[in-house]
């Protein structure tokens, strides 16, 4: 491939990964432009610990053009409002998954057309390829399994993948840091952010309370039989599997098993009751662009730090599937993403929904 005339727009957060991604693409002969996407109002400070200034410094060090686009209003509408609403529904949302779909890649493609770039790139640790038999694009886990970020990208579509480059997919984090130091990039020692970008102190309860009173009224803490064991100060303070904050006296530890917004109730029980074998999911996306027609044996992952487990996924009416694990899994949480793999290949995923039975 002759890259000398190919222009690529790279999402640059100011972190080491996106900086090295941009540098690698320049080395390969691409005409590289860096884009910083500002998701938060200027008065809110940085997007977490990583700033626009660091992004611009990295671009200058690499020797590429760089500019910023302000997406704060759209981010508030599409991501923050979604995040708050999900908690008021008793769910535990996954804003990074939704942000990649509704914000980052959507904005990158829009800006790439304005910039005259034929492709886009990010510093995600995943591998993108093309099947020679079907000509369809696929996503595989990163070579560095500890850094693999494919879980967050299952909502991407073929039209997005066809224009996306992921230069770090076959690299290790150690290699990336070494390369950043070799290139003397100002982000080489940049500390990684572990929190949600719009909640840098990780205090999501205080953040939500500033946005709404829904989910914060006093209500009962109940066992599965409906017996009231105590009171809570708002179900939005809890998520499945949580033990802390219940303030209950019991002969054995109790954990949050479910949340019932209609009854304003938090359901608790012993840890063994947290394990679940089957559940349903909706808001599905399949990377191939095809829908699931029959049951399929997969490895299913229900959290980013959850090790994917053998399961059967089966269609259950329009836009819904049932997932049945071979072995019960702990804390299957409504609102979180379940993502399906075949080997290292990402098949797709969906959003876990509450059992209505």
- The catalytic residue positions are 99, 197
Determine the Cα–Cα distance for residues 282 and 129; give it in Å rounded to an integer: 27
Cα 253 from chain centroid (whole Å): 31
Q: Give the list of residues 6+ apart from residue 285 with CB closer than 8 angstroms, or none.
A: 154, 155, 156, 157, 348, 349, 350
Could you give the C-alpha distances from 337 to 131, 244, 299, in angstroms and in order? Answer: 26, 23, 14
Bridging pattern class, strands 7-11 and 119-121: parallel
Instruction: Tell me which H or E stretch contains 31.
Output: strand 31-38
* 3-state helix, strand and coil shares in percent for the chain, rounded to the nearest 5: 25, 30, 45
Determine the Cα–Cα distance for residues 258 and 238; give it in Å rounded to an integer: 9
Determine the Cα–Cα distance for residues 247 and 230; give it in Å rounded to an integer: 8
Among candidates 64, 59, 72, which has minimal Cα distance to 12?
59
């Amino acid at each position: 491939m002759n890259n000398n005339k190919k222009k690529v727009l790279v999402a640059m957060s100011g972190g080491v990964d996106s900086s090295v991604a941009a540098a690698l693409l320049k080395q390969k002969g691409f005409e590289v432009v860096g884009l910083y996407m500002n998701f938060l109002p200027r008065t809110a400070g940085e997007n977490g610990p990583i700033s626009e200034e660091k992004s611009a410094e990295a671009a200058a060090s690499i020797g590429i053009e760089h500019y910023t686009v302000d997406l704060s209003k759209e981010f508030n509408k599409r991501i923050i409002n979604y995040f708050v609403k999900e908690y008021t529904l008793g769910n535990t949302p996954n804003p990074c998954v939704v942000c990649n779909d509704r914000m980052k890649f959507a904005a990158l493609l829009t800006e790439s057309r304005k910039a005259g770039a034929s492709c886009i790139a990010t510093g995600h640790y995943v591998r993108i390829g093309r099947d020679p038999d079907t000509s369809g694009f696929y996503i595989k886990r990163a070579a560095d399994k500890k850094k693999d970020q494919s879980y967050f990208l299952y909502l991407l579509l073929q039209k997005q993948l066809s224009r996306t480059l992921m230069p770090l997919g076959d690299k290790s984090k150690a290699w990336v840091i070494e390369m950043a130091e070799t290139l003397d990039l100002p982000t080489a020692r940049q500390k990684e952010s572990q929190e949600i970008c719009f909640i840098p102190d990780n205090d999501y309860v205080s953040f939500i309370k500033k946005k709404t009173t829904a989910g914060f009224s006093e209500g009962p803490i109940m066992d599965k039989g409906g017996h009231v064991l105590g009171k809570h100060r708002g179900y939005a303070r809890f998520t499945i599997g949580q033990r802390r904050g219940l303030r209950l006296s019991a002969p054995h530890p109790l954990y949050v098993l479910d949340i019932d917004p209609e009854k304003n109730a938090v359901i608790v029980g012993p840890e063994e009751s947290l394990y679940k074998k089957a559940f349903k999911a909706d808001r599905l996306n399949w990377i191939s662009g095809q829908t699931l027609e029959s049951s399929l044996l997969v490895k299913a992952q229900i959290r980013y730090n959850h090790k994917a487990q053998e399961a059967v996924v089966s269609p259950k009416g329009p836009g819904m599937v049932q997932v049945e694990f071979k072995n019960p899994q702990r804390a299957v949480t409504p609102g979180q993403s379940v993502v399906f793999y075949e080997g290292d290949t990402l098949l797709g995923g969906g959003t876990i929904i509450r059992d209505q039975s």
